Amino acid sequence: MAEHQITFKEERKDFQAHLAHINQNRNPVSLLLDRVHDIRNVGAIFRLADSARIRKVYIYKSPDWKLTSQKAIRIARQTIQYVPYEILEELEEVKNLKENHQLIALEWTNKSIPYTEFAPKEETILILGSEQFGISDDLLALAETSIHIPMLGVNTSMNVACAAGIVVYDLLKALRS
């Protein structure tokens, strides 16, 4: 007889208890999306936020997509309803986050360091920039530091959702150390 593999639904029979456990044990890392305009990237980032138990997703200067659209929900595979998020429209709202969070920009700058050399503190917010323009100067100025993923090939940039995945799991590993 073949061995039975446990399915997702079998593993999480009491979904509400599982969700309560997740909400009580979120990691001290949040994401701030600075004008990310492609809903496919937003959906992938929400899926990442769910899988990594990210504390919160902040959306700054959101374009004209809606998180309540069927497309957004489908791409995010329903995670929008489980991942805490907040829409920020004013720079002052981002400045207020600095009071209790370490703001880190994922952006190649003349002062950025490789992400593997960065040691996060508790309650870190990773700022992710728009696909076309990167992180705005206003938010770069608010960041404590900038980190980057070394680009070893020809291209000088990486998809924002892919880059977020690489760095988020490294931040979680560093926080556990």
Boundaries of domain holding 142: 26-176
Tokens of 127: 């700022």
The CATH number of the domain where 84 resides is what? 3.40.1280.10
In a domain, 5, yes or no: no
Tell me how many domains the chain contains: 1
Residue type, 66: K
In a domain, 15, yes or no: no
In a domain, 63, yes or no: yes
Series of mean pLDDT values for 10-residue runs along the chain (177 residues): 65 79 92 93 94 96 74 79 93 96 96 96 94 95 97 91 98 92
Tokens of 140: 């770069």
Distance CA 27, CA 53 (A): 6
